[in-house]
Amino acid sequence: MNRVLIIIGDATETVDTLYPYFRLQEGGFEAVVAAPEKREYQMVMHQVKPGWTITKEWEGYSIDADIAFRDVKPEEYLSIFFSGGRAPEYIRYDEDLVRITRHFFEANKPIASVCHGVEIPCYAGCVEGRRMATVPKCRFDLEVCGGIFVNEPCVIDGNLVSGRTYHDHGHYIGPWMKMLDEARATLT
């Protein structure tokens, strides 16, 4: 089992998606991009510019989804990554994505999340009592669903690793990759 799901939709943050995508490849894993439909998706770039109190957004690269949520058999995957950007705000309501998300939490497989990605496990009812990092504007989503907000670049809670924004990739992706290596080693 060498396959890892990366969850995206239109308006997924470019750096949040591509950094783990290429790290997975570098680590010898198969990065499988999953989305509402198997098609091309438009990613975005997010930045809070100096003097701004809100996030500026502009077009990033596009990316092809390898598989639609409805076709995912989560038992065939080692891990899942919830990318950030605005996509989680609307894809979290997809019943198949909820099914997939719950599988990874219930099976105690390695899970990583960044930025708005937290909104998916929140909606799926998987964060009760779990410590997670997320972008501060998603703190309410996490806490109202029973999670514990931690404002740090890397939060590890059992099988769950999270970061706040793409600025934290250098802090939380490494520990997640280590979890993946350990999980893969137990399967061989």
Count of structural domains within the chain: 1
- Domain of residue 98, residue span: 3-187
- Here the CATH number for the domain that contains residue 22 is 3.40.50.880
Is there a catalytic annotation at residue 46? Answer: no
Torsion of CA 104, 99, 121, 85, to 10 degrees: 110
Instruction: Indicate which residue of 116, 167, 169, 171 is catalytic.
Output: 116
Q: What string of pLDDT tens digits covers the 188 residues of the chain?
A: 899 999 999 999 999 999 999 999 999 999 999 999 999 999 999 887 788 777 778 899 999 999 999 999 999 999 999 999 999 999 999 999 999 999 999 999 999 999 999 999 999 999 999 999 999 999 999 999 999 999 999 999 999 999 999 999 999 999 999 999 999 999 87
pTM above 0.85, yes or no: yes
